[in-house]
Amino acid sequence: MADPRISEKAQISLAQVFYREDNHMHDPDDIERQLRELMLTGYDGSVRAELESILDGINERDCRISEMLDELLEEVDRLLLLMDELGLDDE
């Protein structure tokens, strides 16, 4: 059952956040449960605060992932150079 305090568009946005949070798709019942918990605490802007907190966590995680990927790419470049110097085929 939809909560009249939160628009359908906002509920969809919240559901999308939960899909991205763990980088996989949650069970639909789990998403609904999490949305319901957010809606029940939604008085006086706490849903917005909770969403902002979730988004901050996602952004921090994405930054860490980006940094790790950059480091891995640098390592791959070094390995490819080493293989080239040793005359090894990269296949």
pLDDT band, very low/low/confident/very high, at 1 (cuts 50, 70, 90): very low
Q: What pLDDT, on a 0 to 100 scale, did the predictor assign at position 53?
A: 75
Residues 3-31 pLDDT 10s: 555 566 566 666 655 555 555 555 666 66
Tell if the pTM clears 0.75, that is, is over it.
no
The position carrying tokens 């939960």 is 18
Angle between helices 8-21 and 28-40 (to 10 degrees): 120
- Cβ contact 26:17 at 8 Å: no
Domain ranges of the chain: 8-86
User: 31-63 burial, b for 16+ CB within 10 Å, e for fewer?
Assistant: beebbeebbeebeeeebeebeeebeeeeeeeee
